[in-house]
Amino acid sequence: MAGEHVLLCCFILIAFVLAAFLVAEYAFVVPVRVTVDDASLRSLEAPAQPAPANGTGTAPVGYNVSVAVALSNRNWAMSVLLTAPLVAELRFRGGHALARAQLACGDDDRARIHALTTAVYSMAGAAEFARERAAGVFELEVAVFAEVKYEAHPRRRAIRVTCLLRLSPSTAGPFERVRCA
C-alpha cells in the first residue's frame, strides 16, 4: 500500500513538472536572434577615372559582396513561421541602399524555422558606390526585415534589425559572427 502511494505521488509530481514546463515553453516567447554568420568583399575595382582634383566628388568604385544572414529560433518547443518576406538590404552605414534582396518568403519551404534550429539565408550584391575609405575598410550595414509568427501564439511580430559590418577586400581568415540589434 505504501509503495503504491509513493508511486502515485511520483507520477503526480512528474505530471505537474511536465505541465509546468509545457506552459512555460508555450506561454513565453524567446525572440528570434539575427546574426551575420559570414560576409566577404570579393572584389574591389579601382575607378576608371581618378577623382576630380578640386574635391567636388569622388570617382565610383565597384564592389562584389556576399552576406549570410542567420535566423536562430531559440525556443525549445515552438517553430517560427515567416509570415512576410524576409528582406535584407545592404547599405553604407547610415546611407542609401546599395542592394536589396528577398531571401525567403512566407510560402516557400524555408519559411519555417523549427525549434532550436538556425536557418541561413544568403544574399550577394555587386554595384558601384562613390565613397571610398582611405584605409580600404568599408563600413556597411545589413538591415533585415521580416515578420514571424510563433506556432502557439496568434500575434505576429516584426523583425527590424541592423548588422554593422567592417569589410576589407584584403581580409584573410575566418569571418567573425556579427550579432544584429
pLDDT of residue 45: 66
**40 and 65 both lie in a single domain:** yes
**72 and 23 both lie in a single domain:** no
**19 and 89 both lie in a single domain:** no
25: domain range?
1-29
Q: What is the mean pLDDT of residues 58-85?
A: 85
Q: With beta carbons less than 8 A apart as the criterion, state whether 99 and 125 touch.
A: yes
**7 and 96 both lie in a single domain:** no
Phi and psi of 25, rounded to 5°? -70, -40
**148 and 134 both lie in a single domain:** yes
CA distance 59 to 130: 6
**99 and 175 both lie in a single domain:** yes
Per DSSP, the chain holds a count of helices (H) and strands (E) of 1, 9
CA distance 91 to 156: 27
C-alpha cell at 106: 512566407
Q: Is 109 helix (H, G, I), strand (E, B) or coil?
A: helix
Using alpha carbons only, give the angle 10, 13, 15 rounded to the nearest 5 degrees. Answer: 110
**25 and 36 both lie in a single domain:** no
Residue 87 has pLDDT above 90, yes or no: yes
Into how many domains does the chain fold? 2
Q: Which pLDDT band, with edges at 50, 70 and 90, does 116 fall under?
A: very high
